[in-house]
Amino acid sequence: MDTIEKLKILSEDSRYDMACACGSSDDDRRKRGLDGKWLYPVTLPNGGYSILLKTLLSNACSNDCKYCPIRSDANLPRCTLKPEETANLFMDYVKKKKVFGLFLSSGIINNPDYIMDKINAVSRLLRYKHGYKGYIHLKIIPGASDAAIEDTLALASAVSLNIETPGKERFDLLSNKKNYINDIIRPIKLISKLTSEGGRFSRVKSTTQFIVGASNETDSEIIKYMLGLYKKLNFQRVYFSAYQKGLGHHTIPGEQKTDSTPEQTFMREHRLYQVDYLIRKYGFSGEDIILDKSGNLELDKDPKEIWADRHTEFYPVRINKADKRTLLRVPGLGPATVDIILKTRLRGSIAHFEDLGIKGKRLENVKKHAIIA
C-alpha cells in the first residue's frame, strides 16, 4: 500500500477513540474528509475551531480487548505507517492548511514500549526536524513504562490513556492479557503526578475515556470514577464511547444488558456527557446526580431536569437577582446564557425572557423554572 491507502485504513480504525473530540455540537463533531480520513475539530486557545488529523500508527495489535474492532483475532487488513512517512504526510497537510494538529494512537506491536517509541519518533521528527510547534495529542499505550511516558509528555501538547472501565472487576471481563492495575492505573497516576500543577509537564493536558456498555458496569460506577479522575487525579476531560456490539467480540460473562438497543446505548453515552457537563460547568456535585434503583441514569429525561423535578422548593429562580450558581440550576440555561444574564444585569434589569436570545423548548423550560424579578 502507499501512504494514502494506509492512512485511509488507519484513520478509519482510529474513529472509535473519542478522547480528543466531544461531539456535543455541530462545531466539534468529527467529519469525514474526501480522501477518507476522519477530521476532528479542536477548540483553539483564542476561540473558534480548527481541524485535527486523527490516525493510528498501526492497526496491528497483540491485545484481545473484546470491545475493540482491531483486537488480535479480528479479520481485517493490517498496515503500519513508518514514523518518517507519518511526519511527512502530516506536514504536507499542515503546509496546505488542511489541519491544525495531530492525534496519534496505535495498536500494540511487540510490546507497549516498542510502539511508544514509534509514536514518540513521529512527534520528535515533527518537533525537531520539521520545527512544528503546534498541537500534538499522543496516546499513552497501556502498560507503557515510566520512561516512555515521560518521553511522550516532553513532546506532546496533550496525552490520553483510556481507563476503559470503572474498576478491575469490570476490566477483567474485557481482556485476558492486560492488567488493570499495572497497565492502566499505574500510568494514569504517573500522568496525573507529572501534569498536575507543579509537575514537570503541567502544560500538558490529560484526558481519558470509558467504553460504555461493554462490561455490565452501572452509571453510578462510571460517575464515581469520573469524579476521582477530575478531583483526585486532575484530568482535564473524561470522554465516553458507546460500545457497538457489531464491532467487538461481545461474549461478556454474566452480561445483563443483552436487550439494550444501539439507540439506548448511545443515549446512555449522551446522558453521561450531560452529567460530565453538569459537574464540570454547572457546579453540580456527585450527590446532585439522581440515579434509578439500579444505579443508572434515566434515559428519557435530562439529569438536570430530574434534579429540578426533585427540588421544586428551589424554584422559581429570580433572573435579575440570582447568583451564577443558582442560575445554572435553571433547566434551559447554560453557562453562555448565564454569562449573558450577568453581563446584562451590569447595565440594568432584564425585562423579558426573550431578551436572553433563547427560544423554543429551551425558552418554555426556563419560564417554568424562573421569573423576571
| Tens-digit pLDDT string for the chain (373 aa) | 788 888 888 877 777 666 655 444 454 455 555 555 445 554 443 444 457 788 899 999 998 888 888 888 888 889 999 999 999 999 998 998 888 899 999 999 999 999 999 999 999 999 999 999 999 999 999 999 999 999 999 999 999 999 999 999 999 999 999 999 999 999 999 999 999 999 999 999 999 999 999 888 999 999 999 999 999 999 999 999 888 765 555 555 554 444 677 788 889 999 999 999 999 999 999 999 999 999 999 999 999 999 999 999 999 999 999 999 999 999 999 999 999 999 999 999 999 998 888 899 999 999 999 999 8
Report how far Cα 226 is from the mean position of its chain's Cα atoms.
11
Q: Is 300 left (phi over 0), alpha (psi -120 to 50) or beta?
A: alpha
Query: In terms of Cα–Cα distance, which of 75, 180, 58 is closest to 109?
Result: 58
What residue spans define the domains of the chain? 3-260, 311-371
Q: What is the pLDDT of residue 27?
A: 47
Looking at the domain that runs over 3-260, which CATH code has it been given? 3.20.20.70
> What is this structure's pTM?
0.87
By CB atoms closer than 10 A (0-12, 13-18, 19+), residue 146 is exposed
Contacts 24+ apart (CB under 8 A), 270-274: 271/219, 271/297, 271/298, 271/299, 271/302, 271/303, 272/210, 272/212, 272/219, 272/222, 272/223, 272/240, 272/297, 273/22, 273/24, 273/240, 274/302, 274/303, 274/304
The pairing of strands 237-242 and 205-212 is parallel
Report how far Cα 331 is from the mean position of its chain's Cα atoms.
24
Q: What is the pLDDT of residue 253?
A: 52
DSSP string, 222-241: HHHHHHHHHHTT--SEEEEE
Q: What are the two backbone dihedrals, phi and then psi, of residue 211, each rounded to the nearest 5 degrees? A: -90, 115
Q: What are the two backbone dihedrals, phi and then psi, of residue 223, each rounded to the nearest 5 degrees? A: -65, -40
Q: What is the pLDDT of residue 34?
A: 53
Query: In terms of Cα–Cα distance, which of 57, 4, 14 is closest to 34?
Result: 4
The torsion defined by the Cα of 162, 164, 167 and 170, in degrees rounded to 10, comes to -160
CATH topology of domain 311-371: DNA polymerase; domain 1 (1.10.150)
Q: Who contacts 202 (Cβ-Cβ below 8 Å, separation ≥6)?
A: 195, 196
How many other C-beta atoms are found inside a 10 Å radius of the C-beta of residue 155?
20
For the chain, what is the radius of gyration of the CA atoms? 22
